[in-house]
A and B are shown apart, each in its own frame.
Chain A
């Protein structure tokens, strides 16, 4: 009798405990995914910011006589397209400006990473929901977009990036996170500030100074979704992190 009662009580306690454990496990799993996304996003922002901070080394102004091989120096801290090395484009946002890159979802910096490879082009580009990174050696007369788009150059850097989702995803996300996408519009990964005579201004408002070589700061905003929806609510879970890179090297 005593054994039966003890077993019954034990089973009741176990049932309650496992019920609670399952709840907390679901919560824990969701939170783990969220913190994982948070962690990956932080590391991504940190890498982008570091690369941007050291962009533009060595600048042309270091040389008293420029070598004929333009791969030995940086033409500009930020490479551009179209007409790279010929004439600068104007940085815009949401389809404005004349630059294809740098743009809301695309950035190419030029710098020497000190790894013996000389000056490199480092590209970050958001394609669908994956942020890619490419590091390729700069070549004299080369095109940074073509070089970084070559097969195998771009590698996935951060997945589930929701800054520019499909319309269906956007509608679902906006329903859950209305403040994250003002106006229900895609959010730029990169926003640029340019040096002007009147002080720093957002590049799209900087007039003739709004060109890639004048970019001083880049504000990075990454909106990342967890791999699985919330196990309790079945709704998508997102984190948004922001960072700012500030170029120290000279413009030219």
Chain B
């Protein structure tokens, strides 16, 4: 009886353990799901922040690629379609991810990252412009780079500076002009004559004005996070004179009581006649002409003119402006002249120091002297000129090669006439150019010498007595200096594209 009752009770409890187990499992599942959900919320918060920051830096990378590729010395140089670049032309650098199409000028297609911002700035669709596209060099060796989609490079106007809202009246004429490209003129002056560097709105820019450009970068991350950043840039070119680019003398000796000693041989020339491109051609051609040797101080007590004339013999080897009259026009002999159009910044130690700083900050190679050309970087060539700065003395004796580009020496330059330099040689600092050897090389371009520091390295109040001395033995002391505007302008840059402004353009999402 007892056994039957127990059996009956046991039968009633059948399945209770299962129910309890299921209940326990449900409980555990609810707790686990709650944990997963809250953890997921944290993850998405962090993800949003990360993608926003990633899009910002991707866009910034696009800006830097655009800015870097505008430099002629860049291996992936993007030449402007015209100089100045007209508003009707637009350059894009596109950077599609694998398998996608990036066509910013196809504004009717929302899947190809259309550039609708352009219309806000210029009032016309970018598809109506002449568009040139380049591929990004961001992916390296198959590895993906920053995920910006495109970079736009174009001229800018007062209206476009406002990004479609209000423009910027850069010349305060009461009109925000939508049609005239802007230039940056570091030598701009007010009507009263005061220096007022800035953006100028003019269809006829002065010789010192260089076109400002707008670089815009747009990035989109896979999750749709977008960012658009913009630079306004100006080409940084050091301009030694106010009437045109380049130099107005084959050899410029800046400062007070400058010294010149020539070799006095018939094979050595300082020639202000422009030797045209290609630089290998060394024949004299008719063309724009500059002074053979120029000086910058002409006060009554200054001996610069007399010192140069005494050393520049025979006079027939110093050819250049001013032109002689009568047909056919030819160069003057004994071409030695006061340079009256020099940029004031190139006539003071502080101004020239700033020039040296600009060049140093953007040089391909900065070498501490005393040193020799053995320290020069490799890869310098006619098609890839370089900017080399030697902080101290440079001894070129024994170097029988050719250099290309801009060479800046702040100490004494010991030049070997067996060496050739195609471009610009600046000796700013101690202001000593010395050559005591023979050779068959020469300098094609221009040379500028200025003494801005004393022997202890302190900046002088006024330019000191710079000196040029080439006194090699015998009659073969090199070809001398042959002015070449092509090589000079190439060496002068722009050495960088300086950022005038940086801003983030608000997007709808």
Residues of A within 8 A of B (CB): 2-3, 6-7, 10, 13-14, 17, 21, 28, 32, 35, 39, 42-43, 46, 50, 53-54, 57-68, 72, 111-116, 118, 248-250
Q: Can you list 8 contacts pairing A with B, beta carbon distance less than 8 Å?
A: A10-B23, A57-B502, A61-B197, A64-B188, A65-B198, A67-B169, A116-B166, A250-B500
State A184–B505 Cα separation when bound (angstroms): 43
| B residues less than 8 Å from A7 (CB atoms) | 20
Do A64 and B502 form a contact, CB below 8 Å, given A10-B24, A46-B53, A118-B166?
A: no
**Is there contact, CB below 8 Å, between B24 and A63?**
no
Do A72 and B170 form a contact, CB below 8 Å, given A57-B501, A62-B199, A64-B188?
A: no
How would residues 469 to 506 of chain B score, 1 for a CB under 8 Å from any chain A CB and 0 otherwise?
Answer: 00000000000000000000000000000011111111
**Is there contact, CB below 8 Å, between B506 and A114?**
yes
**Is there contact, CB below 8 Å, between B49 and A61?**
no
| B residues less than 8 Å from A61 (CB atoms) | 197-198, 500
State A250–B169 Cα separation when bound (angstroms): 18
**Is there contact, CB below 8 Å, between B506 and A115?**
yes
- With both beta carbons as reference points, the residue of chain A lying nearest to B500 in the complex is identified as A62
**Is there contact, CB below 8 Å, between A64 and B504?**
no
Let me know if B221 is at the binding interface, CB within 8 A. no
**Is there contact, CB below 8 Å, between B506 and A13?**
no
Do A114 and B17 form a contact, CB below 8 Å, given A63-B172, A64-B199?
A: no
**Is there contact, CB below 8 Å, between A3 and B502?**
no
**Is there contact, CB below 8 Å, between A6 and B49?**
no
Stretch in B38-46, B137-145, B381-389 with 4+ CB within 8 Å of A: B38-46
State A17–B499 Cα separation when bound (angstroms): 63
Nearest Cβ on chain A to B191's Cβ, whole angstroms? 9
**Is there contact, CB below 8 Å, between A32 and B42?**
yes
**Is there contact, CB below 8 Å, between B502 and A249?**
yes
**Is there contact, CB below 8 Å, between A13 and B502?**
no
Pick from A17, A35, A39, A58 the residue with the most CB of B within 10 Å: A58
- With both beta carbons as reference points, the residue of chain A lying nearest to B191 in the complex is identified as A65
| B residues less than 8 Å from A2 (CB atoms) | 10, 13, 16-17
**Is there contact, CB below 8 Å, between A114 and B13?**
no
State A42–B28 Cα separation when bound (angstroms): 35
Pick from A42, A72, A248 the residue with the most CB of B within 10 Å: A248
| A residues less than 8 Å from B169 (CB atoms) | 67, 72
Nearest Cβ on chain B to A105's Cβ, whole angstroms? 25
Let me know if B147 is at the binding interface, CB within 8 A. no
| B residues less than 8 Å from A116 (CB atoms) | 165-166
**Is there contact, CB below 8 Å, between A54 and B503?**
yes
- With both beta carbons as reference points, the residue of chain A lying nearest to B28 in the complex is identified as A17
State A43–B50 Cα separation when bound (angstroms): 10
Nearest Cβ on chain A to B45's Cβ, whole angstroms? 6
**Is there contact, CB below 8 Å, between B17 and A39?**
no
State A215–B17 Cα separation when bound (angstroms): 74
**Is there contact, CB below 8 Å, between B503 and A112?**
yes
Let me know if B365 is at the binding interface, CB within 8 A. no
| A residues less than 8 Å from B27 (CB atoms) | 14, 17
State A10–B28 Cα separation when bound (angstroms): 13
| A residues less than 8 Å from B45 (CB atoms) | 39
Let me know if B37 is at the binding interface, CB within 8 A. no
Q: Which of A6, A62, A64, A67 lies in contact with B16, CB distance below 8 A?
A: A6
Nearest Cβ on chain A to B166's Cβ, whole angstroms? 7
**Is there contact, CB below 8 Å, between A64 and B196?**
yes
- With both beta carbons as reference points, the residue of chain B lying nearest to A40 in the complex is identified as B45
Top 3 A-B pairs, shortest CB-CB distance: A248-B502, A64-B198, A65-B172
State A172–B384 Cα separation when bound (angstroms): 64
Pick from B28, B42, B504 the residue with the most CB of A within 10 Å: B504
Nearest Cβ on chain B to A140's Cβ, whole angstroms? 14
| B residues less than 8 Å from A58 (CB atoms) | 161, 168, 501
In chain B between 193 and 221, which residues have their CB closer than 8 angstroms to a CB of chain A? 196-201
| B residues less than 8 Å from A59 (CB atoms) | 500-501
Nearest Cβ on chain B to A120's Cβ, whole angstroms? 13
- With both beta carbons as reference points, the residue of chain A lying nearest to B14 in the complex is identified as A2
**Is there contact, CB below 8 Å, between B502 and A53?**
yes
- With both beta carbons as reference points, the residue of chain B lying nearest to A21 in the complex is identified as B31
**Is there contact, CB below 8 Å, between A114 and B163?**
yes
- With both beta carbons as reference points, the residue of chain B lying nearest to A35 in the complex is identified as B42
Let me know if B444 is at the binding interface, CB within 8 A. no
| B residues less than 8 Å from A67 (CB atoms) | 169, 172
- With both beta carbons as reference points, the residue of chain A lying nearest to B189 in the complex is identified as A64
Let me know if B171 is at the binding interface, CB within 8 A. yes
**Is there contact, CB below 8 Å, between A63 and B502?**
no
**Is there contact, CB below 8 Å, between B503 and A114?**
yes
**Is there contact, CB below 8 Å, between A114 and B500?**
no
| A residues less than 8 Å from B16 (CB atoms) | 2-3, 6
- With both beta carbons as reference points, the residue of chain B lying nearest to A53 in the complex is identified as B502
State A111–B169 Cα separation when bound (angstroms): 16
| A residues less than 8 Å from B190 (CB atoms) | 65
| B residues less than 8 Å from A53 (CB atoms) | 502
Let me know if B393 is at the binding interface, CB within 8 A. no
How would residues 150 to 182 of chain B score, 1 for a CB under 8 Å from any chain A CB and 0 otherwise?
Answer: 000000000001010110111111000000000
Let me know if B185 is at the binding interface, CB within 8 A. yes
**Is there contact, CB below 8 Å, between B504 and A50?**
yes
| B residues less than 8 Å from A46 (CB atoms) | 49, 52-53
- With both beta carbons as reference points, the residue of chain B lying nearest to A117 in the complex is identified as B165
**Is there contact, CB below 8 Å, between B20 and A14?**
no
**Is there contact, CB below 8 Å, between A64 and B166?**
no
**Is there contact, CB below 8 Å, between A32 and B38?**
yes
Nearest Cβ on chain B to A93's Cβ, whole angstroms? 27
| A residues less than 8 Å from B188 (CB atoms) | 64
**Is there contact, CB below 8 Å, between B198 and A63?**
yes
Nearest Cβ on chain A to B398's Cβ, whole angstroms? 36
- With both beta carbons as reference points, the residue of chain A lying nearest to B170 in the complex is identified as A63
State A249–B503 Cα separation when bound (angstroms): 9
Could you list 7 further interchain pairs (A-B, Cβ under 8 angstroms) beyond the known A114-B505, A248-B502? Answer: A14-B27, A28-B35, A46-B52, A62-B161, A65-B173, A116-B165, A250-B501
State A43–B45 Cα separation when bound (angstroms): 11
**Is there contact, CB below 8 Å, between A63 and B504?**
no
In chain B between 393 and 444, which residues have their CB closer than 8 angstroms to a CB of chain A? none
State A116–B505 Cα separation when bound (angstroms): 11
State A60–B161 Cα separation when bound (angstroms): 14
